[in-house]
Structure 1
Amino acid sequence: MDFKEKFSTIKKHLLTGTSHMIPFIVAGGILFSLAVMLNPEGAATPETGWLGDLASIGSAGLTLFVPVLGGYIAYSIADKPGLAPGMIGAYLASQVGAGFLGGIVAGFIAGYVVKALKKIKLPISLKSLGSIFLYPLFGTLITGGIIVWVIGTPISAIMEGLTGWLNSLSDAGKVPLASILGAMTAFDMGGPINKVATLFAQTQVDTLPYLMGGSRSSYLYTTNWNGNCNIVSSKKI
Structure 2
Amino acid sequence: MTDPDRPVAIPAVPRPKDRPGRAPAPETTSTYRLGQGPLRLPLWLRAVILACCLVEGLLLAAPLLGLGSARAVSLMLGGFWSPLLGGGTGLYPGQGAVMFLTYGLLHAGLLHLAMNMISLAAVGRELTRMIGAGRMALIYLASQIGAGAVFALMQPQAGPMVGASGAVFGLAAALVGHAAITLRRRRRSMAPLVRAVALILGLNVALTLLMPSIAWEAHLGGALTGLALGLIFAILPRRA
TM-score normalised by L of structure 1:
0.30
TM-score normalised by L of structure 2:
0.29
- Higher RCO (C-alpha 8 Å, min separation 6): 2
Greater per-residue helix proportion:
1
